[in-house]
Amino acid sequence: MKTQNIDNLKGEIEFRKLLAEQHVTGKMLLPDYYDKEQHDRILLERINTTAADIRKLAARDTVLSPFLELGAERCQRSLVLANDFGATGCAVDISYHQLQSAGHFARLFDKPKLPLRVCCDVNHLPFRNNSFPFAFCYEFLHHFPSPRPVLEEIYRVLANGVFFFSEEPYKRPAIPLYKQRHKIYSQATLRKSKMRRFLEKYISEDCCDEREHGIIENDDITLRDWINALAVFEARTVHISSIGNRIRTELGAGITLKNLPNLLLGGGISGICTKNPADARVAVTNLADLFVCPDCLAGPTGSRTEQPPLEKTGDHLRCPRCGSSFPVIEDVTFLLPTRLMRELYPEFAGR
């Protein structure tokens, strides 16, 4: 299996719906997950981390606009680009409820400019080839059986520009002797010392709400798998780190002796990848002009043919080629293939 199945997607949507309500209203719907106050602090940390990363990318003359954020969730990172760097772009996620909650967090963190939010399937990104000079994601690629198909789709919509990813795991050697009694975000687990939690990663199997909902948590992507998957890009600067950021090395086209400590300890991987295509970037004045029909895109010729722009008809977008219609609900544009829309969001499919 190279992509998520329908049960994975349904589980993702249900779980993210509960999270959105918990972290906006304060209701404890998932008692073993962060409460609203804890979550707000974590989001602020992510905002600050994103701002630091984008400053470094801007210093490299990275073109930031228009941008594409994948797995955007509540759009906290896109809010940084839109408000602190003056960029425009699209934030995409499979979870409508997380995208819809972005307005709440925009007010909470005083970042009023919102990205264009799109509920879609990353395996069929509903955008033209060569649309974005900058694409990025955090903690996203490991939610798939293999990152390669997702990276190929990102490559397709990326223009002469940069793809940045961070906070992804790679496989650590472990001998799971027992299964954890408490979930990884529960108060019982968080009360353990950092050293104990670190050591237990190597000798125990964890449990979490995500897996219970059927979400893929693929922590077993090897460094070799990452190298092969990222080879879709013409150039890459990739770093791997262990024990936080204490042991950090560059990962080239192969694993070398300098990577050995990281290989033995496991850890995180991040990178800056570039695409240098012969085709020029699509020039538009309106971000919505980058949209293409996901039904046509998922067809047999799909991304290999030029797609006509979608037409605005009231609170829907309509494909002039196949006639498919896609709703815009509370400023979130649904661009899921019709089949998936009926399966994942039956309450909206007929609207």
What pLDDT, in 10s, does the model give residues 186-215?
Answer: 999 989 999 999 899 999 999 999 999 999
> CA–CA separation, 326 vs 291, rounded Å?
11
Domain ranges of the chain: 6-90+104-113+128-173+214-290
Whole-number pLDDT of residue 301? 62
pLDDT of 260 reads 96
d(CA 114, CA 124) in angstroms, rounded, equals 23
Token pair 């997380």 is at which residue?
A: 98
Q: What is the largest CA-CA distance in the chain?
A: 60
pLDDT for position 351: 67
Q: What pLDDT does residue 328 have?
A: 97
Question: In this structure, what token pair is assigned to residue 21?
Answer: 């309500």
Q: Are the C-beta atoms of 266 and 199 separated by less than 8 Å?
A: no
Q: How many CA atoms lie within 13 A of 143 on its CB side?
A: 21
- CA distances 95 to 12, 120, 158, Å, are 7, 8, 22
* Predicted local distance difference test score (pLDDT) of residue 302: 59
* Sign of the torsion formed by the C-alpha atoms of 167, 171, 173 and 177: positive
| The two three-digit tokens of residue 32, written as one number | 């073993």
Cα 214-143-98 angle, rounded to 5 deg: 80
- Report pLDDT for 236: 96
Per this entry, what is the length of the chain? 351
Name the CATH code of domain 6-90+104-113+128-173+214-290 (choices 3.40.50, 3.40.190, 3.30.70, 1.20.120).
3.40.50
Q: What is the pLDDT along the chain (351 residues), one digit of tens a residue?
A: 578 899 999 999 999 999 999 999 999 999 999 999 999 999 999 999 999 999 999 999 999 999 999 999 999 999 999 999 999 999 999 999 999 999 999 999 999 999 999 999 999 999 999 999 999 999 999 999 999 999 999 999 999 899 999 999 999 999 999 999 999 999 999 899 999 998 999 999 999 999 999 999 999 999 999 999 999 999 999 999 999 899 999 999 999 999 999 999 999 999 999 998 767 777 777 999 999 999 998 776 655 567 788 999 999 999 999 999 999 999 999 999 999 999 999 999 766
pTM of the model: 0.95
Res 268: pLDDT:
97
Span 227-251, pLDDT tens digits: 999 999 999 999 999 998 999 999 9
Q: Which residues contact 212 (CB under 8 A, 6 or more apart)?
A: none
The DSSP-derived string for 28-76 is -SSTTS--HHHHHHHHHHHHHHHHHHHHHHHHTT---SSEEEES-TT-H
Task: Compute the distance between CA of residue 134 and CA of residue 162 in angstroms, rounded to an integer.
Answer: 5
User: Among residues 208, 197, 125, 189, which one has the least CA distance to residue 163?
Assistant: 125
Helices (H), ranges, the chain: 6-25, 36-59, 76-84, 96-100, 102-108, 148-157, 187-190, 194-203, 209-212, 223-230, 260-265, 294-297, 338-344, 346-349
pLDDT at 282: 76
DSSP state at residue 123:
G
Reference 43, options 108, 114, 103; nearest CA is: 108
